[in-house]
Amino acid sequence: MRVLVRADPQRSIALATETHVLIFRHNSSSTESRNGSSTSVAEHGAPKCIVEFLPWEKADMEDYRSLSSLKAFGTLGLVTLAGDVFLCVVNSASSVATVRPGEDVQRIQSVEFHCLNRSDYDHLLNDQINPFPADGLDADGYDHGYKESLLEHPCMALKKLLSGGTFYYSADFDLTKRVQDRPAETSSVAIDSLDGGFLWNAYMIQPLVDFRSRLSDNERGALDASRILTSAIRGFALSVTIPAASSPARIAKTGQPSSMTLISRLSCRRAGTRFNSRGIDDDGNVANFVETETIFNTDFVCFSYVQCRGSVPLFWEQASGLPGQQKVTVTRSFEATQPAFDEHFTNLSKAYGDVHVVNLLSKEKPAETELTRQYDQHIRRYVQPVNDGGSHERREIRSVNYDFHAETRGPHGYEAASGIKHSIQDSTASFEYYLSEEAQEMARVEPNGRRATLRGPQEVLKQTGSFEPT
C-alpha cells in the first residue's frame, strides 16, 4: 500500500493498493455531496472531507506522486486539530503473533499524520524526531547538528502515543473479539462489527465506517478486502512456538509445532494511569479493565481461555504518595453506587457468562479493608432476588477474598499463590473453556456434479464464565 498526494487543482491524498484507491479531499463547504462511492465525511455534523473509493483503472491518478517513501499498512482514521484535518497512516509494523494459520497480529511501530488541507506538515514529523540522537555531539556532549523546526506538528503527541509499541492490529481477523466470538472462516474484517470497548481508534475511524455503510455491497466487500481501514487495540500480543515433542496435546497428526498466544486487550472506556483512574463510572465501566486470552493452537485443535481484571467497581479515588500513604476516598454513598455496580456485572454476565470475583486487596491496610467491606456489601445486594413484573430473578456472583501479597510473603514466594485453587476449583470446572477441533472431511456435490471435500473447525466446548481479579 502506498501514500500518494496531488497538489492541484485541489490537494488530495490517496491510499493505493494494487487494485483500488481510497482518495481523501478536504471539504470546506457545508454542502454534503454524494455520488456513488464519493461521499462527504462529517464531524459533528459539519463535512470536513470528501472520500472516494475506486478501482485503480477507474481513478485518474496521473498527477499523483508519492508522499512518503515508507510503505503504508492502512489508516487508523481521521482527526481534526486546530481546523486542520489529518489522515493517520500506519507506516511501520512488525508481526508478533499468529493465533491460527492466516491470523497474524501486527504491533504498530510508527504512524504518520498527513494533512488534507495544507502541505506545511508533509515532512515535519520526520524532521522533528531525530533518528540519530547521538549524531552531532561534540566532545562535551553538546548537540550542534540537530535543530528543531520552528513549526511544531500538531499531531506530535498522538504520534508518540500510537508509536509507543502498545498498539496492535490485524488485517486478517477481528482482534477486538476473542476466538470464541468470531468465525474462523471470515476472510476479511468488517470494520463496523468490531467491539467498541476495545477499539482504541473508534473516534478516528468512525467517519470512515459511516462512509463504508453508504457503499454498495460489492464496493463494501472490496474495501474490506483492501485492508485499508485498520482497527487498533491497546495491550499486548505475543506467540511462542512449542515443538511437537513438548506440546500439551499428546496426539500429533502431522508432527507440526504448536503455538501458544497471549493477547491482552485494554478497554478504552475508562483507561488511565494508576492513581488518576480508579473505580467505576455511571455506565458501569471500571478503570483499566483488561481482557486476557490464552490461545493454544495445533494442526488439529484450538484452545482458548479468557479472564478479566479491573479496578474495584465502586466510586473511589486514591491520592498518589509514598507506599502505604496513598489515601483512599469513597466518593459516593452505597445507594448511589449500586446502579453502576449492577450495570457493571450485568455487562460482564452478558459478555462472559457467570462471574467469579477474586478480590486481591489487603486484609491489613485499613483503606483496602474498607473497600473490601463495601465491595462485599454491594455483591450481597446484587445477588438478592429481583422482582421484575412478578417474576423473581436471582443473579449469581461468586467471590473470594484473597490477600495476594500476604499469601506470597513467605519463603515460597509466588508459588504459594497456588493455594487459591481450593477456593476457585468449582468455578474453574464449571466455566470450562473454548475448544474446537478440525472437522472430519465432508463430501458435497459441486454444481458440475463433482464431489469435493471440506475441512474446518468444529466447536466442541464454549467457555461459560470468567474470573475477575481486582
Element (DSSP H or E) covering residue 162: helix 156-162
pLDDT of res. 453: 61
Closest by alpha carbon to 343, among 317, 314, 308? Answer: 314
Residue 49's pLDDT is 85
Residue 153 pLDDT: 83
Q: How does DSSP assign 308-330, residue by residue?
A: EE---SSSEEE---STT---EEE
Tell me the torsion sign for CA atoms 326, 376, 420, 427: negative
Predicted pLDDT of residue 68: 82
As averages over each run of 10 residues, the pLDDT of the chain (470 residues) reads 90 94 82 53 66 92 87 93 91 95 94 90 60 48 50 86 94 92 69 85 90 91 92 96 79 73 94 76 94 93 95 88 74 95 95 94 91 95 72 74 90 89 92 87 61 73 92
End-to-end, the C-alpha distance of the chain in Å comes to 43
What's the grid cell of residue 141?
556532549
Q: What is d(CA 377, CA 356) in angstroms, rounded to the nearest whole number?
A: 16
Cα–Cα distance for residue pair 275/289, rounded to 1 Å: 15
The owner of cell 479496578 is: 311
Could you list the beta-strand ranges (E) of 157-213.
167-169
CB 272, CB 287: distance < 8 Å? yes
CB burial string 206-225: b at 16+ within 10 A, e below: bbbbebbeebeeebbebbbe
According to the model, what pLDDT value does residue 129 have?
44
Burial class (CB in 10 A: 0-12, 13-18, 19+), 53: buried
Dihedral pair phi/psi, residue 12, rounded to 5°: -140, 145
Instruction: Return the amino acid letter for 38.
Output: S
Distance CA 83, CA 235 (A): 31
Supply the pLDDT for residue 133. 43
Task: State residue 251's pLDDT score.
Answer: 59
Nearest Cα neighbor of 15 from 226, 233, 231, 232 is 226
